Each structure stands twice: as structure tokens, then as C-alpha cells.
Amino acid sequence: MRLEGVELRRVTMPLVAPFRTSFGTETTRDVLLVRVVTGAAEGWGECVAMSGPLYSPEYTEAAADVLRRFLIPALAAAPRLDAYAVGPALTPFKGHRMAKAALETAVLDAELREQGRPLARELGAVHERVPCGVSVGIMSSIGELLDAVGGYLEAGYRRIKLKIEPGWDVEPVRAVREHFGDVPLQVDANTAYLPSDARHLARLDPFGLLLIEQPLDEEDLLGHAELARRISTPVCLDESITSARTAAAAITLGAAAIVNVKPGRVGGYLEARRIHDVCVAHGVPVWCGGMLETGLGRAANVALAALPGFLLPGDTSASDRYYRTDLTAPFVLHDGHLPVPAGPGLGVEPLPEVLREVSTATEWIAL
């Protein structure tokens, strides 16, 4: 495969409603898209970094910068190009996994399109559709939360995840349990608690949650292991899991009974599959996280979520959870499931008129 060039494109997507987490409130999604052009095809990768370094150290401008200064030039110099050569070509550069993931995904998409092969098949998917969950932001009142959760259950979502933080945890969980009974329910703290909050978090035990996601600092594997001994809710890690190696360490330490797999956070879909494999070998269930992806990233996430170790519904929600108009043909929930794309590569492409409408800048890097 020969690379002719790479396009970096910025798009601004308004969210249907503000999304509040312990690290802030987002009203629009500022996305960096990577498009690679080869002799025979083009491929797309969506960078999941946020506009500020709030979820992880990466942010959109930094991702664009490292791609243009370091990652794309390194790829251009690589002797042999296919998706499996991208990771090794980029290993000299530390971190920046979301930027690396976007570039690798674009190359993988182009390669699979050239070969007429779907991403799901390439990754080892075993399902044609996947059950979907939804992530529900922190609200200004319990009433507002119950309206939101009721709407999602009505729409068919198979699992509800509540964002929590100190001051918004036991009461919202209690209210959802009281109103909606035994629905599959989990919580996500995005690192908002301290090890000294263990006794408080144990107050969630009676509600029979599927899991608590990333209660403590991303570097605190030992703290999560200790917390897991003090609460009965299974501890799931998100931010802490940056590679198959950290997944193995977290499992061995007893810091993760369940793992959230986000391809962007770990450097791409190939590393995401390795994490899946490590977890399956240890009997640790995984599920696919979400970063408010457009249809491009969503298509790839749904393909990944169809692997056999993905035993819990993911944050692979329908397009209309976040966007009135998606970049691609919308993903629509049927019976609480999304279909795994069956076409070559990602199996979806941006709608040209929508893409033009939401794009704020493009940059072509010829190779």
C-alpha cells in the first residue's frame, strides 16, 4: 500500500443536549478526522480527544500537532505500509495514543476497503448486532435524571450508566432503582473520588450495580485494588487501562474485575483487540466505551463490540443520543441493538453535504 497523502480535518458537532461529567460540561464535540489516501482507496480515522485535557492528557489541537509534526512524517518514512506496520513505526513517540489510534484506523480502513473486507471480520467479530447501553450525564435535579433515564429505557437501551461525582451518587442511584426497578445499572466516576471515600462508596453496595467505573485517579492501580476489597460493587477501569500491558497489571493486582475498552485511549483497534484477548484469557469481562464518536468512530466501535469477550452492553449508543445529524447515515437502535456494519473497512462513510457543513478547517499533507 502506498500513501499519497493525509488530510487532517476539524469538524464541530453540536450535541443534542449538554453532557455533564465530573470533569466538566460539553455542549459541542470538537472532532479531528484523519483521512488517508492511497493509490486505490481512502480511509477514515476519528480522533476521540476532547478539546481540552480533561479526560486524559490529550486534546484535539495537540493531536493535530503531533500528527503533523511527528506521526505522519514517521509513517511516510516507513519501508512497508499496512495497518500492522503503523504501531511499530510510531513507537519512538511516547503517549499520544488517541492521535496514533486515529492514524492507524485510517490506514486500516483504507487497507480493508482495498481488499473488500469488513473491520468486524478483521478483528474477529462473532455477532451481527450488539446490545447497547447509554451513558447519562450529571443532571441538575433527580426529576430531570428520571426523565432522561425513562426516555432511554423507552428507546430500548439495554443498560443505563449514570455519571457520578461526590454529591451526586447514592441519591441518583437510589432514585433510578426506586423508579425503574432491576434494570441493568452501572456508574462512572471519571476519577472523582479518593481512597478515603471507600466507606462512602460502599453505600452503593445495596443497589446491585453491574460495576463502578474508574472511581480513583488513573495512576492509582493499588488504590483500586484496595477499594475492590472494601466494596461489593465490581470495580471496572477506564482511564487507567492504556495498553494490554496495563490491563494485565490491573488484573493481576486485583484492580479490575471488568475492563472498559476504548480504542482511542489505548492507541487503536489492534491494541484494543489485544486487551480483549488478555481479558478473555483471565476471565475478565470487557465492554466497549464511548467518546461521543460520530458515525465513523461509532461504526468501528460496534465492530469491536461484536468480539466474543464483550460480555456487557457498551456505550455504543445510537447516533441520536448525541447528534441530531450524524456525519454518516445514522446508527438507529433496533430492539436495543445496533447492527455491525458489513461493508468493507468501517462500512460507513461521511455524507458529503453534512461533512462540508460541519467542517471548520482542512489541511492536506502530501507524502
Q: Name which of 19 and 193 has its Cβ closer to ligand NPQ.
A: 19
**Hey, is 143 helix, strand or coil?**
helix
Q: Name which of 14 and 73 has its Cβ closer to ligand NPQ.
A: 14
Stretch that binds Mg ion, among 68-76, 167-175, 188-196, 316-324 (CB under 5 A): 188-196
> Which amino acids are annotated catalytic?
163, 262
Of 172, 186, 176, 171, which is closest to residue 285 (Cα–Cα)? 186
Three-state secondary structure readout of 270-316: HHHHHHHHHHHHCCCCEEECCCCCCHHHHHHHHHHCCCCCECCCECC
Tell me which H or E stretch contains 85.
helix 83-90
291 interacts with, out of Mg ion, ligand NPQ, none, CB within 5 to 8 A per kind: ligand NPQ
Please state, in angstroms and rounded to a whole number, the distance separating the CA atoms of residues 300 and 347: 9
Stretch that binds Mg ion, among 114-122, 156-164, 183-191, 196-204 (CB under 5 A): 183-191
Which residues are CB-contacts of 67 (< 8 A; sequence separation ≥ 6)? Answer: 6, 8, 32, 34, 99, 102, 103
Per CB under 5 A, contacts with Mg ion among 229-268 are 238
Q: Name which of 38 and 191 has its Cβ closer to ligand NPQ.
A: 191
Residue pair 358/326 in contact (Cβ under 8 Å)? The answer is no
Binding stretches for ligand NPQ (CB under 6 A): 19, 21, 26, 29, 50, 55, 135, 188, 190, 238, 289-292, 315
Name the packing angle between helices 244-253 and 269-281 (round to 10°): 30
CB of 235 to ligand NPQ, least distance (A): 14
CB of 54 to Mg ion, least distance (A): 12
Of 297, 291, 289, 293, which is closest to residue 347 (Cα–Cα)? 297
122 is a site residue for Mg ion (CB under 5 A)? no
109 interacts with, out of Mg ion, ligand NPQ, none, CB within 5 to 8 A per kind: none
Per CB under 5 A, contacts with Mg ion among 8-47 are none
Residue pair 263/272 in contact (Cβ under 8 Å)? The answer is yes
169 interacts with, out of Mg ion, ligand NPQ, none, CB within 5 to 8 A per kind: none
Residue where the block lists cell 495537540? 62
Residue pair 359/2 in contact (Cβ under 8 Å)? The answer is no
Q: Name which of 29 and 273 has its Cβ closer to ligand NPQ.
A: 29
Assign residue 124 a region (left: φ > 0; alpha: ψ between -120 and 50; beta: otherwise): left
Q: Name which of 33 and 50 has its Cβ closer to ligand NPQ.
A: 50
Q: Name which of 50 and 299 has its Cβ closer to ligand NPQ.
A: 50
349 is a site residue for Mg ion (CB under 5 A)? no
CB of 321 to ligand NPQ, least distance (A): 9
CB of 188 to Mg ion, least distance (A): 4
Among 104, 188, 293, 326, the residue binding Mg ion under the rule CB under 5 A is 188
Please state, in angstroms and rounded to a whole number, the distance separating the CA atoms of residues 79 and 69: 19
CB of 293 to ligand NPQ, least distance (A): 9
Interface residues with Mg ion (CB under 5 A) are 188, 213, 238
